[in-house]
Chains A and B, each alone.
Chain A
Amino acid sequence: MNRSTAFQFRSGNSFFHRLDPLTKLAWLVAISLLAFGAYIAWVQILIALAVLFTALALGRISPLVIFRGTWLFGIACVSFWVIQTLTLPGTHVAFTVLGHPIYAESADYALASALRIYTIILSSLVFVRTTDPRELAIALVTQMRVPYRVAYAFFIALRIVPTIEAEIKTIRAAQAVRGVVRKRGLASRIGEMKRYAMPLLVGSLRKASMMVMSMESRAFGAYPQRTFVESPRMTVASYAVMAVMLALVVTWYGALAFGYVHSIYVFSGA
């Protein structure tokens, strides 16, 4: 299976690249909150457009990368949209397709729920593409006070993912030479998982003690704290982004709570 390389950090100099990781995390959470607020098509369209604008203008992610990273979801969203438009009950018939009535409420709801998935994916793409995972780990230690020993599990994960991926390719080739054939079914799936997992685990864990020795011999764990020569900092821009996102979330949920906006589709209950 070809891995999608769109979901990977690429260094750059856009507004979002320069933003500190925690602010970006806050932005991501705020977008999710906004998107999960309610099923109203026009609101979801606004949010989706805003995120798309962020991706293109603030994150300087090329449209091609956005397409490569999200086309599968595009298809999923369209199919959700079509299925739900056709199947959900409603009262106001907007128009009919081949004698099948399409209700205004279901169309609105379906569009909103499809766009919501797309918005979340797109915002994840923006985050992953513009955030150096290393900086995020450092931010966890220096800004969020996560113990650095635990944060280093994150560094190690970062370090070994490419190695493990390369190793999986080799193992697949090695086992193909042995005459292993892939089979369908749950039982053989579990068996397959074990067949790949054992060589990977044994190989990596053999290296683990070397990794531990290498870290400890360089004073890892000597003190409760450690220095980070470079660590991300909050800037004026960070505070501005946070303030804007907070205001949006409060306004949106306030509006929902006081009934200024509401979904035209009402859950029929079960």
Chain B
Amino acid sequence: MTVGMLYLIVAVIGIVLAAIAYFMNRTNGKFFVAFTLMEIVIMAIIGVINGVLGTPNAMLGRLFMTFSGSYGFLAFAAVCGGFYIAGPLCGYIIRKPGAATIAETMNGVAQVLSGNPNGIMVLGAGFLQGFMSDLGFAFYGYRKWTLSVVALSGALAPILQQIPEVYFFGVGDMGISYNMLALAIRIASGAVYAIILVKPIAHALARAGVLRGTALAAAEAPVSAQRSPA
């Protein structure tokens, strides 16, 4: 088996997963749900913040790969979860199909605008990451919001996105086991970042009262204002 075959299989897996998600959600009325303007703005903001925070990391990773050769790609894979976080976070907050995709695409936009050295490529990468993250929620019909679903969403993110990147950085020549290792590290990193960050950040934001009008805010139990006048 060649590396090309490996990624062909990975791509097929990705497409099959998407197809399964599509058929699971085709009939339950959760497929095309319009976003409110508030949700669009929230997705843009979360995506952009992720992107602007991620750009220095991307540069660092670039530098790393430059000076430590192909092994830098593995080290970089460990922090890749940071790039995927906007998807699971928005999916968890907004709870509609496509939220993760749009948020991650905005992540890509912000990285291009704030000078990510990988140029226009990160836009496509953002879209692919977000699309796969969305599938994580789709498997549960956008109904289940436990930690494991969030982790799944983070773990799926790198599956399609790694393919163009591997060819771009020329690590396709490093052999099957190397590439599988890189993918495994990315998946683990995606899951770990999602587990550690998504829920605490989302609930902290809801408590700060800045998510009014989202599904997450509606799901939180109503609270009496803590400052009722004495």
Contact = CB atoms under 8 A, between A and B. Distances in A.
Whether the complex brings A and B within 8 Å at their CB atoms is answered: yes
Query: Interface residue tally of chain A, by bracket?
Result: 35 or more
A128 interface: yes
A239 interface: no
Interface string A17-29: 0000000000010
Contacts of B167: 36
Interface string A133-158: 10000000000000001101110111
Interface string A239-270: 00000000000000000000000000001011
A117 B200 contact: no
B215 interface: no
Nearest to A114: B170
Interface in B39-87: 40-53, 55-56, 59-60, 62-63, 65-67, 69-70, 78-79, 82, 85
A161 B110 contact: yes
A201 B115 contact: no
B114 interface: yes
B112 interface: yes
A125 B116 CA distance: 11
Contacts of A121: 117-119
Interface string B191-230: 0110011001100110010111100000000000000000
B43 A72 contact: no
A31 to B, nearest CB: 11
B117 A7 contact: yes
B110 A157 contact: yes
A120 interface: yes
B88 to A, nearest CB: 13
A127 B120 contact: yes
Nearest to A158: B113
Interface string A64-75: 000001001101
Contacts, number: 182
Contacts of B47: 153, 157
B37 A7 contact: no
Contacts of A113: 170, 173
Nearest to A9: B113
A233 interface: no
A30 to B, nearest CB: 13
Nearest to B67: A79
B160 interface: no
Interface of A: 1, 3-8, 28, 36, 69, 72-73, 75-76, 79-80, 83-84, 88, 113-114, 116-117, 120-121, 123-125, 127-128, 133, 149-150, 152-154, 156-158, 160-161, 164-165, 168, 186, 189-190, 193-194, 196-198, 200-202, 204-206, 208-209, 211-212, 215-216, 220-221, 267, 269-270
Nearest to A154: B109
For the residues of B in contact with A, the DSSP-based class is: helix
Contacts of B168: 117, 120
Contacts of A209: 38, 210, 212-213
A242 B48 CA distance: 32
Contact of A197 (B38, B53, B106): B53
Contacts of B43: 153
Contacts of A123: 119
B2 interface: yes
A193 B82 contact: yes
Contact of B45 (A124, A198, A204): A204
Given A153-B44, A208-B42, A161 B37 contact: no
B40 A156 contact: yes
Contacts of B63: 72
Among the interface residues A6, A8, A76, A194, which one has the most CB atoms of the partner chain B within 10 A? A76
